Structure 1
C-alpha cells in the first residue's frame, strides 16, 4: 500500500508510471505490505488462470521472496511502478519500501525489478 501521495501519468520508461504529487525526502517509507490491500496469490492458483486474469498477474504481480509459493499483487497504484537501472526507491525489503534519495514533485517513482527476480526480470519480459 502506497504511503505517499502519487498520481498516474504516461511514463517515458514504459506505459503508465507512478509520479510524486509532493516532494518525497530520502529515507521516507513509500510503501508497506498491507494484507487487506496487497494480495498473496498462491502460485498454483496463478498457474491455473487464463485470459485477462492471467495477463494482469503476469504484468503486475511478482514472486514473493518472504512467502515462497506465492506471488504478490498490489491492489493500489504501486503496481504501476516502473523499472529503472538507477531507481529512486529501494524495494529489497518485501514489507517496506523507501525513497533512496530525494524525489521531486512530478518525478516518477522507480524501482529495480531485479530485486523481485534474482535471475533477472528480462526472462519474464519487461512490464
Structure 2
C-alpha cells in the first residue's frame, strides 16, 4: 500500500507510470505491504483463470514477501510502478519501500524489480514482443 499521494500518467519508461503528487523526502517510508489492503492471489489459481485475467495478474503482481505460494496485486497506483536500473526507491526489505532520493511532485516513482523478483528479466518492447511487456515471471508492478 502506497503511503504517499500519487497519480497515474504517461511514462517514458513504459506506457503509464506512477508519479508523485507531493514532495517525498529522501528516506521517507512510501510503501508498506498491507495484507488487509493488497489482494493476495494463490499461484495455484492462475491456471484456472481466463486468459485475459491471467495476463493481467502476471503483469501486475509480484511475489508475496513471505509466502512463495502467493502473488500480491497492489490495490492502488503501486501496480503501475516501473522498473529502473537507477530507481528512486528501495524495496529490498520486501515489506517496506523507502525513497532513496528526494522525489518532486510530478516525478515518476521507480523501483528496481530485481530487489523483490529474483527471476526478473526485462522483456522486449511491446512492438517487438507483440504483446504486453512487463517483468517476468510475475509482472510489471510493485
Q: What TM-score do the two structures reach when normalised by structure 2?
A: 0.82
Q: Distance in 2 between matches of 1:61 and 1:77?
A: 12
Q: Distance in 1 between matches of 2:62 and 2:47?
A: 13
| Superposition CA RMSD, Å | 1.7
Q: Distance in 1 between matches of 2:66 and 2:92?
A: 11
Please state how far the C-alpha of 1:118 moved relative to its aligned partner. 1.3
Cα shift readout 1:47-80 (whole Å, capped 9, x = no counterpart):
3322221111011001224111111111111000
The residue aligned with 1:95 is: 95
Please state how far the C-alpha of 1:122 moved relative to its aligned partner. 2.9
Matches within 5 A, 1:56-71: 56-71=56-71
2:17 aligned with 1:28: no
Matches within 5 A, 1:42-121: 42-121=42-121
Q: Distance in 1 between matches of 2:18 and 2:100?
A: 16
Q: Distance in 1 between matches of 2:63 and 2:35?
A: 16
SS for the counterpart of 1:47 is: helix
Q: Distance in 1 between matches of 2:51 and 2:31?
A: 29
Higher-strand-fraction structure: 1
SS for the counterpart of 1:108 is: coil
Cα shift readout 1:10-32 (whole Å, capped 9, x = no counterpart):
00000111111111000111111
Q: Distance in 2 between matches of 1:12 and 1:5?
A: 21
Structure 1, gaps ≥5 residues long: none
Contact 1:64 1:70 in 2 (8 A): yes
